Amino acid sequence: MRVLVYGAGQLAQMMYLAGAPLGIEVEAVDVSSDTVVHPVSKLPLDASLEQAIEAADALTVEFEHVPERLLEQAEKSNKLMPSMEAILVGADRVREKQLLETLQIPNCSHRIVTSLDELDACISALGDKLIIKASRDGYDGYGQWRLTSADQLEEIKQALDGLDLSAVPLVVEKMLSFERELSLIGVRSQNGDIKVYPIAENLHYQGQLHVSVAPAPKVDAALQQQAEDIFKRLADGMQYTGVLAVEMFQCGDQLLVNELAPRVHNSGHWTLTGSDTSQFENHLRAVTGLPLGDTGARSPAAMINIIGCGTFSRELLSIPGCHLHWYGKTVRDKRKMGHINLTAENYQMLGHKMQQLVAYVPGEAFPKLAEEAQKLSSWK
Amino acid sequence: MRVLVYGAGQLAQMMYLAGAPLGIEVEAVDVSSDTVVHPVSKLPLDASLEQAIEAADALTVEFEHVPERLLEQAEKSNKLMPSMEAILVGADRVREKQLLETLQIPNCSHRIVTSLDELDACISALGDKLIIKASRDGYDGYGQWRLTSADQLEEIKQALDGLDLSAVPLVVEKMLSFERELSLIGVRSQNGDIKVYPIAENLHYQGQLHVSVAPAPKVDAALQQQAEDIFKRLADGMQYTGVLAVEMFQCGDQLLVNELAPRVHNSGHWTLTGSDTSQFENHLRAVTGLPLGDTGARSPAAMINIIGCGTFSRELLSIPGCHLHWYGKTVRDKRKMGHINLTAENYQMLGHKMQQLVAYVPGEAFPKLAEEAQKLSSWK
């Protein structure tokens, strides 16, 4: 079988590696040049995009910001999974909020803004602690502005001046006081079977994910169930096929959905060693019509992103249960270069292993590691 | 880093898949044409063998029957691991027996025969239940003859007539009464660190491995230790680098070494899901100088070979903990097409899962499955 993935980054690479044992040949589309490439070597393959679409059993995406003309072409083949509509929900915060409202899924109080004049009304409605987000093409912390008091409004308006808000509206959210960021990764098959992984806890720094711990500590059955119910409503509501990531805030015992990612997700990389079936394998199983695999956690697991950094000691592999996933890219500031997966018998041991890891990596590139290591190792 | 593997079959493919996450690029040599190929697609890469040797950080093999002229060329680069000498031990039963004798490792009573006249003396020395093996190029059950009574000797002599026994001697072994076949897979690093996986029990049919169960049931600490001691003596004795497989017979509480394979081995495929670090990853870690990974078993695991068969229901993936490893080859009689890995909480559950598997595969191609499933599922 063949699966064509739009996007040729690390997610396509990990899908390729998960597909090969299943006899699924994964090819990638470099969307900047419309060329079909090998997902690992990135070398061009001997097929035009049209030929590759024709030869594929399924088409899918590794990121939601695929040019719409390509998505339209893909959708026409009737082989695109998830659907173009679901992908655009992930690419456009207006569509995302509309879906959440339609499905009555709890999310942050917000307003859609298509003209700067409407910002004053947002303050009246939501208060003066706001996060203002571009509804499209905002990614990894770019395209966001924070308002922490009403007197910053003029400054923000100046920063936003010149944006075509009727074409790309803003989503203005009330800044939440939440305990932590969680995500649920799940998968839905073509015939509606659903399997979800345990919730992960995500630690961000400057808008980027740095560490995930799964199963998230201190998640009771009710919270896991709440997340699963949200997932089911979303996945069924979109008639979704494949892996879907749901990012949430925990406020007390309530979960508010923050963002959806219609694809395999960084906060699910722990599944490569922490679960019986990785998110990459399950995504491929779903889009090719194979039965879904087990999504239980084998043991506590942590995923630590390697961001903007290529120099660390490979001796980190001497930590038992430590695995490196290197993406083979040129080092650039803020670029996700790879990740490290750790598993351990319990959270305390996981914390100890993270403490060991601290010795092998430059601290400035891993700003959340030592703190989280300390927290887990003193776990009771 | 780059590793060049001699041989372009499934073992090179699985090394490639294990290498990519570590940033290790694995290339394969098709030894029938001296061309460098991609280990998964088998398409030629844009490099001559000489260029690939030059560009590689390490050279290794996926099988021991690499033409000696290629091994000599590889050895000259000083990057071949394990050494040519160790590889030839696996390719030549005379060298193998000599090594076992030199290192005083228990093995089957045997004689080396370089002329048919010496066969009579073998019967006097070893009895008339014998296995006669070509010392080279015998593989997967080919090149073996069985003598079960002295009056078959003439017939056997006729079958062997015309072989150049001075060039390729015979190894004549006393037929053993043994309880079962076991194997130990272990790995030795360049600086002498050793890690071994738990012993696996192997079920053969017509000279081919069909099922491995690991950890082998009913192995006490003394037996595991005995196997580990054998491994250590062999690996240290050869100054070995990489994964080495030791096939053994269990006779009461004694282990007799039957065969060595200087490479990753079919009876270690269970490590892909059953252990934290697969044999493929550990082999690559060893030959590239990375720390070795954890070799413990996560839980009982079974590996079931798919031999000479391409038609089975992909619904087998609905069994929890079931993973398919398909090698992408054209179906041929007796050809290893892929394997199925199963893991379960305990042996009884493993047996139940194997029983479920029976429903998805054609029985004639899986002659050991139902029996072993029955045995494990009634495990006390």
- Among all chains, which residue has been given the structure tokens 């944006």? A163
Q: Helices (DSSP H) in B103-219: which residue ranges?
A: 118-126, 153-160
Please report residues of A whose CB lies closer than 8 A to that of B276: 273, 320-321, 343
Residue A1: partners with Cβ closer than 8 Å, 6 or more residues away: A22, A23, A24, A25, A57, A58, A288
Beta-bridge mates of residue A323: A341
Query: B23–A338: do the CB atoms touch at under 8 Å?
Result: yes
B199 and B183 Cβ atoms separated by less than 8 Å: yes
- Output the six-digit token pair for B221: 């600490």
Please report residues of A whose CB lies closer than 8 A to that of B22: 324, 326
Q: Give the up-direction half-sphere exposure of residue A227: CA atoms within 13 A in the CB hemisphere.
A: 31
Distance from CA of B305 to the nearest CA of A (A): 14
Q: How many CB atoms lie within 10 A of CB B216?
A: 22
d(CA B319, CA A293) in angstroms, rounded, equals 8
Query: B317–A293: do the CB atoms touch at under 8 Å?
Result: yes
Please report residues of A whose CB lies closer than 8 A to that of B40: 20
d(CA B277, CA B259) in angstroms, rounded, equals 24
Best CA proximity match to A328, nearest among A91, A41, A126, A32:
A41
Positions of E strands within B175-251: 180-188, 194-196, 200-205, 208-214, 242-251
Positions of E strands within chain A: 2-6, 25-30, 35-37, 58-61, 110-113, 130-134, 144-147, 170-174, 180-188, 194-196, 200-205, 208-214, 242-251, 254-261, 301-307, 322-326, 336-343
Best CA proximity match to A59, nearest among A41, A42, A78:
A78
Of B23, B291, B294, the CB nearest to A328: B23
Burial B89-100 (b: 16+ CB within 10 A, else e): bbbbbbbbbebb
From residue B34, how far is each of B43, B70, B82 by CA, in Å?
13, 9, 20
Is the CB of B1 inside 8 Å of chain A's CB atoms? no
Residue of B nearest to A23 (CA): B326
Q: Give the up-direction half-sphere exposure of residue A27: CA atoms within 13 A in the CB hemisphere.
A: 26
Best CA proximity match to B18, nearest among A243, B10, A356, A6:
B10
Of B17, B291, B315, the CB nearest to A317: B291
* DSSP single-letter state for residue A145: E
Provide DSSP, A164-201. Answer: -TTTS-EEEEEPP--SEEEEEEEEE-TTS-EEEPPPEE
Is the CB of A318 inside 8 Å of chain B's CB atoms? yes
d(CA A65, CA A32) in angstroms, rounded, equals 11
- Is residue B143 part of an annotated ligand binding site? yes
Q: How many CB atoms lie within 10 A of CB B114?
A: 15
**Cα A152 to chain center, whole Å?**
31
Q: Tell me, what's the pLDDT at A163?
A: 83
Q: How many CB atoms lie within 10 A of CB B69?
A: 9
Of B20, B285, B291, the CB nearest to A40: B20
Residue of B nearest to A292 (CA): B318
Best CA proximity match to B17, nearest among B281, B273, B242:
B281
Query: B17–A17: do the CB atoms touch at under 8 Å?
Result: yes
Q: Which of A37, A272, A326, A330 to mutate to test the interface with B (most CBs of B within 10 A)?
A: A326
Of B272, B328, B343, the CB nearest to A23: B328
Q: Tell me, what's the pLDDT at A138?
A: 52
Query: A23–B326: do the CB atoms touch at under 8 Å?
Result: yes
Of B40, B292, B321, the CB nearest to A276: B321
d(CA A108, CA A258) in angstroms, rounded, equals 7
Residue of A nearest to B324 (CA): A22
Tell me if residue B156 falls in helix, strand or coil. helix
Please report residues of A whose CB lies closer than 8 A to that of B21: 17, 272, 323-326
d(CA B195, CA A316) in angstroms, rounded, equals 17
Query: B343–A318: do the CB atoms touch at under 8 Å?
Result: no
Query: A22–B294: do the CB atoms touch at under 8 Å?
Result: no
Is the CB of B317 inside 8 Å of chain A's CB atoms? yes
- Among all chains, which residue has been given the structure tokens 């394997």? B339
In terms of residues, how long is chain B?
A: 380
Query: A291–B17: do the CB atoms touch at under 8 Å?
Result: no
- Is residue B6 part of an annotated ligand binding site? no
Residue A240: partners with Cβ closer than 8 Å, 6 or more residues away: A82, A83, A86, A188, A234, A262
Of A17, A276, A317, the CB nearest to B20: A17
Tell me if residue B65 falls in helix, strand or coil. coil
- Is residue B25 part of an annotated ligand binding site? no
Which DSSP helix (H) or strand (E) runs through B172?
A: strand B170-174
A8 and A37 Cβ atoms separated by less than 8 Å: yes
Provide DSSP, A188-250. Answer: E-TTS-EEEPPPEEEEEETTEEEEEEESPTT--HHHHHHHHHHHHHHHHHTT--EEEEEEEEE
Which residues in chain A come in under a pLDDT of 50?
139-141
Residue of A nearest to B273 (CA): A276
- Output the six-digit token pair for A307: 């961001």
Residue of B nearest to A297 (CA): B321
Is the CB of A276 inside 8 Å of chain B's CB atoms? yes
Q: Tell me, what's the pLDDT at A159?
A: 85
B282 and B265 Cβ atoms separated by less than 8 Å: no
Please report residues of B whose CB lies closer than 8 A to that of A23: 324, 326, 328, 338
Please report residues of B whose CB lies closer than 8 A to that of A322: 293
B217 and B200 Cβ atoms separated by less than 8 Å: no
Query: A317–B290: do the CB atoms touch at under 8 Å?
Result: yes
Question: Exposed, middle or buried: residue B252 (CB in 10 Å: 0-12, 13-18, 19+)?
Answer: exposed
d(CA A264, CA A2) in angstroms, rounded, equals 18
Query: A321–B285: do the CB atoms touch at under 8 Å?
Result: no
Interface of B with A in 21-40 (CB under 8 A): 21-23, 40
B293 and A317 Cβ atoms separated by less than 8 Å: yes
Query: B294–A321: do the CB atoms touch at under 8 Å?
Result: yes
Residue B380: partners with Cβ closer than 8 Å, 6 or more residues away: none
ipTM for the complex shown: 0.95
Q: Tell me, what's the pLDDT at B140?
A: 46
- Is residue A138 part of an annotated ligand binding site? yes
Query: A23–B338: do the CB atoms touch at under 8 Å?
Result: yes
Ordered structural domains, chain A, with CATH: 2-80 (3.40.50.20), 109-174 (3.30.1490.20), 180-377 (3.30.470.20)
Residue B126: partners with Cβ closer than 8 Å, 6 or more residues away: B109, B110, B111, B172, B173, B174
From residue B191, how far is each of A29, A319, A344 by CA, in Å?
43, 17, 27
- Among all chains, which residue has been given the structure tokens 């190792």? A377
Q: Tell me, what's the pLDDT at A161?
A: 84
- Among all chains, which residue has been given the structure tokens 């000797």? B153
Interface of B with A in 53-92 (CB under 8 A): none
**Cα A21 to chain center, whole Å?**
24
- Is residue A133 part of an annotated ligand binding site? yes
Mean pLDDT by 10 residues, chain B (380 residues): 98 98 98 97 96 98 96 98 97 96 96 93 94 76 82 90 87 94 98 98 95 97 97 98 98 96 98 98 98 97 97 96 97 97 97 98 96 91
Is the CB of A310 inside 8 Å of chain B's CB atoms? no
